[in-house]
Structure 1
């Protein structure tokens, strides 16, 4: 199973609605490490490392319509894992 790093910028009404907590819960269920961070412009940055299949599933969930708030767009990029992450945290 190959390891991957997912970087996803989540657009919409996703701050102040429990979105980061929800993302953290899903990521931990999938065995991923990383963080969900609010940005000043209202987006949430999601960094997740782990199995490619698990990261892909997290991306599906982010786009799936069952998130807190309203997601209007998710822009993702994929890279090799960089390591140095432990657990999954909200920032």
Structure 2
């Protein structure tokens, strides 16, 4: 048995910086069994990385997208499996 977890990278675009997006994402993460991080990118997007059980990660991403839908114009998602890389969920600078 391997210890690989489901991993998701999501890039949100729209009016997603300067609106509390990262802090709201961290708040949403507290309701899910996920680890990872969220950070602003220089091109104006927000990058969300989350890992854990597939159902938890996908539900978490869907909740973030739902709660912040007024700011999001689009999202690109890539998923994979790999070793756990994070111990908690936090904002990356």
- Under a length normalisation based on structure 1, what TM-score does the superposition of the two structures give? 0.87
> Could you say which residue in structure 2 is the equivalent of 1:89?
90
Q: Take 1:69 and 1:12, find their aligned partners in 2: how far apart are those partners?
A: 9
Work out whether residues 8 and 75 of structure 1, in 8 Å CA contact, stay in contact via their aligned partners in 2: yes
- 2:22 aligns with 20
Contact 2:5/2:84 (8 A) holds in 1 = no
Stretches of structure 1 lacking an aligned partner (at least 5 in a row): none
* 8 Å Cα contact 2:28-2:64 kept in structure 1: no
Superposed displacement of residue 68, structure 1 = 7.4
Unaligned stretches of 5+ in structure 2?
none
Larger-Rg structure: 2
Map residues 58-77 of structure 1 onto 2, 5 A cutoff.
58-64=60-66, 66-67=67-68, 70-77=71-78
* Number of positions where the alignment pairs a residue of Structure 1 with one of Structure 2: 89
SS where residue 80 of structure 1 aligns? strand
Instruction: Give 1:46 deviation, angstroms.
Output: 0.4
Structure 1 residue runs of 4 or more that deviate by more than 4 Å after TM superposition: none
Evaluate the alpha carbon distance shift between residue 15 and residue 75 of structure 1 in structure 2; reply closer, same or farther with a 3 A threshold.
Answer: same
Q: Secondary structure at the match of 1:85?
A: coil
Alpha-carbon distance in 2 for matches of 1:27, 1:81? 20
